[in-house]
Amino acid sequence: MRIIGGKFRSRVLVEFKGEEVRPTADRVKESLFNILSLKLIGARVLDLFSGSGALGIECLSRGAKEVVFNDASKDSVKILEKNLALLKVKKGEEAKVYNLDFVACLGVMRGEFDVIFLDPPYRFDYGKQALEIIASCKLLSENGIAVCERDRPFEGSVEGLYKYDERKYGKTYLTFFTKE
């Protein structure tokens, strides 16, 4: 797993062993960051189901000011912290790391985010619930974007958010939301 662009371009990240974790495919990641490229410079980013941190680290590489990482798995947080150390990312300044359930994490977040990534395990449908909390807590900035990754199209709507785009890459769907 490599960083695609920015100051950490081509750096290889520590990965998970085995089948338990599903990182975002490079093709999907490249398309996603082509779409988001202008939004990232100086951005505040939330990577809610961060896993190894690849999406959030890609944002830091491309000029994000701060990334808040969260994952409920202690093993994921260990891998994330190895990746941050490998790249000499300053924890507390550029990166904040939480090891919380996504509901608890969203409950302690303060301020707004310019980009929010939701890439929960496909076997659980946490994306819609997380988006509802994000909308009710007003965590998305005025021109912010929330991106939900799933293995199927996003059905329904989320009060307070507008689903403005959805794209399919192989078996992966990326659904984009902004404030209503």
pTM for this prediction: 0.94
Q: Does 20 score more than 80 pLDDT?
A: no
% of residues, the chain, pLDDT over 90? 83
For residue 130, what is the enclosing H or E element?
Answer: helix 126-136
What is the C-alpha to C-alpha distance for residues 46 and 109, in angstroms, rounded to an integer? 9
For the chain, list the domains and their CATH numbers. Answer: 26-179 (3.40.50.150)
DSSP state, residue 17: -
CB atoms within 10 A of CB 179: 16
DSSP state, residue 100: S
pLDDT in tens, 145-166: 999 999 999 999 999 999 999 9
